[in-house]
Amino acid sequence: MKPTDLYQSYLQSKRKEKRSVRLVQITILILFFSFWELAARMTWIDPLLFSMPTRVLSLLYEHIMAGTLWLHASVTMFETVLGFLLGTIVGTCLAALLWWSTTLAKIVDPFLVILNSMPKVAIGPILIVGIGPNMGSIIAMGMLVSVIITTMVVHTAFKEVDENYIKVMRTFSANKKQIFRQVIYPASIPVIVSTLKMNVGLAWVGVIVGEFLVSKQGLGYLIIYGFQVFNFNLVFMSLFVIAILATFMYLAVEYAEKRMTRFHP
């Protein structure tokens, strides 16, 4: 068999495996929602508390037709994307700064560990008082939950780059800036991309908690309002929309991963 035939056979097997995984995932979702609907209709679970998929979808349709869903979803999505980007960019820049100065890294390292161990949600009220009860404090909350962990993970990746690559660059009289641009950053791209995936979930957590505390619009606001008026259909609808939007963000990060790692296996 020719090498090209072997390669095509390999690609075909990978595509088949991918289709099989997608099929299993879809099957699990269908079974989950089917059992949920059946359990609610048979009163195995309380339909008032746990709702049911048909009620959630009906309410979702009503909000789409009324145009209110777009307002709340767009606000939350904007806050999440901005918090996600700021957390990742600021964290990566801080990691680069710590790599640049080993003395600064030694000084800051214990403080990063302490800050990472603190519950970020508890800082929410402080942000609201400091920044104000507005969108800025919500975006700051979305950034805060991811910036420290991003700094620590990416800085560790920078430090663990093979020292032999750096020695080769130094033999050619490369300065520290050139070493970072040509060796450290490219070698750490897979870790940065993995951090992006992690930050998707963290940014959503931060923003939704921020909306719990201060927002008058957004999906977090809908969840709190649903609890207050005992409308759990609204709560589950908001959670369903969050799951869909978070999935799209994750897929966007996966696409970015393919583009960023194309020449950095």
The pTM of the full predicted model, rounded to 2 decimals, is: 0.83
Q: Is residue 45 part of a domain?
A: no
Query: What is the distance, to the nearest Å, from the Cα of residue 49 to the centroid of all Cα atoms in its chain?
Result: 29
Dist CA 109 CA 98 (whole Å)? 9
Q: Is residue 13 part of a domain?
A: no
Q: What is the structure's pLDDT at 192?
A: 86
Q: Is residue 26 part of a domain?
A: no
Dist CA 95 CA 78 (whole Å)? 26
Q: Is residue 225 part of a domain?
A: yes
Q: Is residue 234 part of a domain?
A: yes
Number of domains, the chain: 1
In this structure, the number of other CB atoms found within 10 A of the CB of residue 237 comes to 26
Q: What is the structure's pLDDT at 186?
A: 86
Q: What is the CATH number of the domain that holds 132?
A: 1.10.3720.10
Q: Is residue 231 part of a domain?
A: yes
In this structure, the number of other CB atoms found within 10 A of the CB of residue 88 comes to 24
Q: Is residue 88 part of a domain?
A: yes
**Closest residue by Cα to residue 201 from 104, 96, 87, 98:** 87
Matching residue, tokens 């072997």? 6
Residue ranges in the chain whose pLDDT is less than 70: 1-7, 261-265
Q: Is residue 161 part of a domain?
A: yes
**Closest residue by Cα to residue 189 from 157, 217, 163:** 157
Domain membership of residue 77 as a residue range: 65-260
Q: What is the pLDDT of residues 242-263, one digit of tens each?
A: 999 999 998 888 888 777 766 5
